[in-house]
Amino acid sequence: MKEEIHLHTRREFLRRSIFLTSAAWTVPTFLNRTVWALENSGPLAGVKVSPDDPILVVIQLSGGNDGLNTLVPYTNDAYYKARPMLAVPAKDVLKINDVLGFHPNFARLKSMLDSGKMAVIQGVGYPNPNRSHFRSMEIWHTASDSDKYETSGWIGRYFDNHCKGCDPTTAVNIGKLMPQAFSAKIPFGVTIEDPEMYRWINTSTRYGDAMKSAEAVFRKINKASADPKAMPQMGDEPPQSMDYLQRTAMNAQLSSDRIREVVKQYHSNVAYPDTGIGYGLKLVAQMISGKLPTRIYYVSQGGYDTHANQLNDQNKLLAELSEAVFSFYQDLEQQRNGERVLSIAFAELVRRVTENAAKGTDHGAAGLIFAFGGKIKPGIHGEAPSLTDLNRGDLKFNIDFRSVYATVLENWLRVSSTPILGRSFPKIGFV
């Protein structure tokens, strides 16, 4: 017990002194590695994570983006026939090739596609598609077959298989709620929305600093369980509330000081749009620039469930996405991190070919995934599904979404995907 306290203090000291001495926040890599190594030798012994490893950013387009109005088959009569009110006029489309073009609000992303930093994977879906919003979301998050029920998420199983004992900041979710994709046997990763609030605040100032000792007690009672060995073992059952809370309290403690410090150090002249997705990606850029050991960031942009009056809503969302991703990569390139960061944007649900009476689209079966980054193989991947050969009014998929996960896991995060996805899926050549 004593030895651990000593070790802990020494790590703290080392870490703190690094924060203090690195004025420009350019920590020599070897020194930084030492900190993580030290950290990993203590209660968090396990896999080492280095701040130079490749990073994956997952962007969820919540509610289900309408792919046909995003990547528009502008020469296809069937498209205009199915969408008398909603179709994007051919003259407005940002043409990519003879048959496909982007929605006009994707101008920024079109420039990324042209400069080789964007890929589009089309016709992505899964067998026996489920049109229920929630079930389909669950399938995308857990990567299960549509007739099987899985509680853990695909990213959660990546943690369980490859990150046992890693620093909790190995995965960071921006937002209020943790996505199901993060669900793991052992609660893992951190969720953060506002770095300023990401600490224990004590405003008892009445009697000078008489309350400083409270902070020490707080750390002790919330870290009392910081030794995973002392934590109850978690099996296949969902964790008990108390175990889960203690684990989360520990993860919050371990990540709070570091994330706030990193965000404070960030400087950039890249302007981000004043939107939710702009805010989220900026925060991710801040953390990347601060060399956190994070391998996976998760950001969401909500509002895509356009059952009615789709035009205005989707126009706005696509513009917001386009602007935010563009700024994000500008920022990353200035940090020289553009090649280290792969982003994929997916919708957990897709929309039907034919518009409905409410100038909207209902839930459908096959859609698009976007990928961004300095190291990807740009352009359009996969075949466009036929607009006339439909399955119950839906496009037929030709790429299983788990092929995209497998590609990311194997070719980018460099781990075996079979234990995570349950079996092997063919990889797509976008990275």
Partner 1 sequence: MADSTSSLLAPYTGPWDERAAAHLLNRVCFSAPIEQIEMLMKQTPDQALQRLLYYEYTPESCPDPSCAEPSVPSPDAVPKSQSNEQERQMQRKEQQRMEKEHGMELQAWWIQRMVTTPRPLQEKLTLFWHGHFATSFVKVKNAYLMWLQNETLRRNANGNFKKMLLEISRDPAMIVWLDNNSNVKGKPNENYAREVMELFTLGEGHYTEQDIKESARAFTGWSYRKQGSQQFQFQPKQHDVGEKVFMGKKGNWDGDDIINIIFEQPHCARFIVNKLWVYFAYENPEPEVVDGLAQILRENNYDLKPLLWKLFSCRAFYSERAIHAQIKSPAQLVVGSFQILKRELPDDPNLLQIILNVFRLMGQELFAPPDVDGWDGGLAWVNTASLLLRYNFSNYLVHGIPPENMVGKIGKAGKPPSPPKGEVTRALRRSAKVLDVASLCDLSRLATSEQIVRHFARLLWNDQPDQENLREFTRFLDTNESGGTFAFQAQNPAAEEKIRGLVHLMMSTPQYQLC
Segment contacting partner 1 by CB under 8 A, of 2-10, 74-82, 133-141, 381-389? 133-141
131 binds partner 1 per the rule CB under 8 A: yes
Ramachandran area for residue 197 (φ above 0: left; ψ -120 to 50: alpha; else beta) = alpha
Segment contacting partner 1 by CB under 8 A, of 26-34, 80-88, 118-126, 131-139? 131-139
Burial of 38 from C-beta contacts in 10 A (0-12 / 13-18 / 19+): middle
Beta bridge partners of 379: 119
246 binds partner 1 per the rule CB under 8 A: yes
Segment contacting partner 1 by CB under 8 A, of 82-90, 240-248, 260-268, 326-334? 240-248
Residue 63 has, within 13 A of its CA and on its CB side, a CA count of: 17
Q: Which is nearer to partner 1, 313 or 333 (CB)?
A: 313
Give the strand order in the sheet containing 100-102.
71-73, 100-102, 94-95
Identify the residue among 90, 245, 270, 384 touching partner 1 (CB under 8 A).
245
Q: What is the pattern of x (binds partner 1, CB under 8 A) and - over residues 377-416? A: ---------------x------------------------
Q: How far apart are CA 275 and CA 377, in angstroms?
A: 29
Sign of CA dihedral 29, 32, 34, 37: negative
Question: Per DSSP, which regions of 46-168 are E strands?
Answer: 55-61, 71-73, 94-95, 100-102, 118-125
Write down the least CB distance from residue 233 to partner 1, Å.
Answer: 17
Question: Hey, what amino acid is at 404?
Answer: V
The residues near 133 (Cβ < 8 Å, ≥ 6 apart) are 63, 64, 305, 349, 363
Identify the residue among 10, 212, 264, 377 touching partner 1 (CB under 8 A).
212
Write down the least CB distance from residue 376 to partner 1, Å.
Answer: 26
Phi, psi of 230 (to 5 degrees): -85, -10
**Considering only residues 155-194, where is the footprint of partner 1 by CB under 8 A?**
168, 173-178, 187, 190-194
**Considering only residues 263-292, where is the footprint of partner 1 by CB under 8 A?**
274-277, 279-280
Do residues 353 and 80 touch, judged by C-beta distance below 8 A? Answer: no
Q: Which is nearer to partner 1, 212 or 423 (CB)?
A: 212
**Considering only residues 46-105, where is the footprint of partner 1 by CB under 8 A?**
63
**Considering only residues 1-40, where is the footprint of partner 1 by CB under 8 A?**
none
Do residues 36 and 50 touch, judged by C-beta distance below 8 A? Answer: yes
198 binds partner 1 per the rule CB under 8 A: yes
**Considering only residues 323-362, where is the footprint of partner 1 by CB under 8 A?**
356-358, 360, 362
From the CB of residue 202, how many other CB atoms can be counted at a distance below 10 Å? 11
Write down the least CB distance from residue 172 to partner 1, Å.
Answer: 9
Identify the residue among 167, 305, 331, 410 touching partner 1 (CB under 8 A).
305
Q: Which is nearer to partner 1, 75 or 248 (CB)?
A: 248
